[in-house]
Amino acid sequence: MRGFIFDLDGCVWTGDVLVPGAGEVLALLRSQGRALTFLTNNSRARAATMQAKLERLGVQASVSEVLTPLEILGRVLDTHVGTTSRVLAIGGPELEAAVVDGGHSLVPMDRYREARAVVVGNDFDFSYARLTAASRAVAGGAAFLTPNLDPRLPVEGDDFLPGCGAIVEAVAAAAGLRPLVVGKPEPPLFELALDRMRLAAADAAMVGDSVDSDIRGALRVGLTAVHLAPKGGHDGVAHYILDFLGERRRVAFVTAASLHDEDAYFTRVASVLGAPPPEGAGLELLHLRWNDRPQLVLARAEALFMGGGNTYTLLKRLRESGLLPVIRARVEAGTPYIGASAGSNVAGPTILTTNDWNVVALEGFDALGLVAFNINPHYKETDPAMAPGSETRDDRIREYHVVNANPVVGLEEGAIARVEAGIVTARGTARIKIFRRGQEPTWHQPGEQLPVEA
Ligand code: ASP
């Protein structure tokens, strides 16, 4: 590799401290004469500010080696909206300066109706008034642009600040329209980086911690992608699956929970999990059809993945096809079992804590009983979409505990409960809430061992 492009936040630094080893790696690459570019999605700082921060942290870099979406914002406005456009800018002072330096003019907030474009960056003074102005302007026909959709900004102490994406999503939700993304994973900044290094994509690598921004974007323009995952990665489930499977790659995927097109479901999952890492998991997926010699497929598989859909349908089909005792025996003998959603519900003793409707009039609710606790997938403590006065999940789980004694494990979207040798650990990117009969529920973060028996 003749050149390397480094992401900054979470890769070279977190907040105001260098990532351990980053300074040494960068100095080494430089001493070997390799070209370097720093490519950040930062929506609040231009190249000079980022370069000054690098210098302050002891990393040698020139301003032309740093790229942020603000560097090309003026040009993107030229092509997508027109030169000398009137722009409503929601974000920091450097975002506003980038608009003006790009030859465009700023519209004050109360005159948002005059804006031909709205640019939304991370805004530490974001307010309801700004949300109103931006979303009304976009809904009224102004072009909608953002430096990035990154939901979080990693800071020191393993913490985060809400990212530009969090604010953009608020505007997008109110306006009912999606923005044009100026920064990663879109190609222009990667192409500019290669241009500045005078290298072809085949001669350079992108090093980043975000699969969504850095890795996807790099692969799109033909760069080699290096995923920095200090704690096993933040986004994407592929690495959790691979970590759980060990050396195994041949996995039977069960589509029986789907009341729709099972083949289409299988194809969709196979294209994601079959793709090579880091985007996929590089698995060889076998389609286990509940109504077409399922036991033969299961016999060939090294692991089992039970997909989602309607939990009642899934249990009914597993029962009808005689698969329940067969799966139970395989898992007891050591075959790894992965369940998503309905597939996780059936891993418990019963499916009584599913969110689904019993659309197939199932008579019995006993499931695989691979673990002793029940699961409530997609758990949400509060849901703004619910009508006032609706029963919450917590209300329903409390009712469950009037009649049943085993714990219920509520999995927020993105959370994983990993069970191994009787130990249950929280994994993934979201929290787990545990409900035990007669006790206050407890919240648990990824990495914690859970106080339930498997
Ligand atoms: N319908 C869910 C699924 O995706 C299961 C559930 O919410 O209980 O499989």
pLDDT of residue 446 exceeding 60: yes
Q: What is the pLDDT of residue 212?
A: 76
Cα of 397 from ligand 1 centre, angstroms: 16
State pLDDT tens for residues 95-121: 999 999 999 999 999 999 999 999 999
Distance CA 417, CA 409 (A): 8
DSSP secondary structure code for residue 203 in this structure = G
Task: Give the nearest ligand 1 atom to 354 CA.
Answer: 8
- What is the 360 CA–ligand 1 centroid distance (Å)? 15
The answer to whether the peptide bond before residue 278 is cis (omega within 30 degrees of 0) is: yes
pLDDT at 385 over 80: no
Q: What is the pLDDT of residue 233?
A: 44
Query: To which residue do tokens 């917590």 refer?
Result: 394
The pLDDT assigned to 209 comes to 86
Region 155-171: what's the mean pLDDT? 90
Ligand 1: atom nearest CA of 311 is 5
* Atom 7 of ligand 1, residue of closest alpha carbon: 355
Alpha-carbon span 428 to 432, nearest angstrom = 10
Q: How confident is the model at residue 151 (pLDDT cuts 50, 70, 90)?
A: confident
Q: Is the pLDDT of residue 389 over 70?
A: yes
Residue ranges lining ligand 1, Cβ < 6 Å: 257, 308-309, 311, 341-342, 345, 354-356, 377-378
Contact between residue 121 and residue 43 where contact means Cβ atoms under 8 Å apart: yes
Annotated catalytic residue within 366, 378, 394, 401:
378
Residue 450 exposure: Cα atoms within 13 Å on the Cβ side:
33
Q: Which of 227, 341, 344, 444 is an active site residue?
A: 341
- Average pLDDT score over residue span 246-273: 94
> Looking up tokens 């979470």, which residue turns up?
10
* Average pLDDT of the segment spanning 229-238: 59
State the pLDDT confidence band at 230, using cuts at 50, 70 and 90: low
pLDDT band at 231 (very low <50, low <70, confident <90, very high): low
**Whole-angstrom Cα Rg for the chain:** 25
Residues 6+ apart with CB under 8 A from 268: none
Measured in angstroms, how far is the CA atom of residue 5 from the centroid of ligand 1?
A: 41
- How far is the C-alpha of 324 from the C-alpha of 208, rounded, in Å? 43
CA of 23 to the centre of ligand 1 (A): 46
Q: Are 6 and 18 in contact (CB under 8 A)?
A: no
Q: In this predicted structure, what is the pLDDT of residue 281?
A: 86
Residue 272 has pLDDT above 50, yes or no: yes
Instruction: Kindly tell me if the per-residue pLDDT of 427 is higher than 60.
Output: yes
73-181: CATH number: 3.40.50.1000
- Residue in the block written with tokens 């909608």: 144
Taking only the tens place, the pLDDT of each residue in 299-332 is 999 999 999 999 999 999 999 999 999 999 999 9
User: What pLDDT, on a 0 to 100 scale, did the predictor assign at position 390?
Assistant: 87
Query: What is the homologous superfamily of the domain 3-70+185-227 according to CATH?
Result: HAD superfamily/HAD-like (3.40.50.1000)
pLDDT in tens, 31-78: 999 999 999 999 999 999 999 999 999 999 999 999 999 999 999 999
Show the tokens assigned to 258: 């789907």
Active site residue 210: no
Predicted pLDDT at 234: 40
pLDDT at position 428 is 85
| 341 contacts 308 by C-beta, under 8 angstroms | yes
Average pLDDT for the chain:
93
Locus of tokens 């909206």: 81
Taking residues 16-41, what's their average pLDDT?
95
Calculate mean pLDDT across residues 357-361. 96
Cα separations (Å) of 334 from 329, 331, 370, 404, 418?
A: 9, 5, 11, 29, 14
- Which residue has better confidence, 341 or 268? 341
* Cα 355 to averaged position of ligand 1 atoms, centre (Å): 6
Please say if 378 is a catalytic residue.
yes
pLDDT at 380 exceeding the cut of 60: yes
pLDDT at 387 (0 to 100): 78
Q: How far apart (Å, rounded) are the C-alpha atoms in residues 303 and 334?
A: 9
For ligand 1, what atom is nearest to the CA of residue 340? 9
Candidates 255, 312, 356: which one to mutate for ligand 1, based on the most atoms within 8 Å of Cβ?
356
Token pair of 208 as six digits: 């980043």
Q: Do domains 3-70+185-227 and 238-444 have the same CATH topology?
A: yes
CATH class of 238-444: alpha beta
Beta strands in 163-297 (DSSP E): 180-181, 204-208, 224-227, 250-254, 284-288
3-state class of 108 per DSSP?
A: coil
Q: Where are the domains positioned within the chain?
A: 3-70+185-227, 73-181, 238-444
Q: Is the pLDDT of residue 388 over 70?
A: yes
Amino acid found at 152? R
366 is catalytic: no
For the chain, give the percent of residues with pLDDT over 90: 81
Token duo for residue 284? 């060889």
Q: Which pLDDT value is given to residue 122?
A: 97
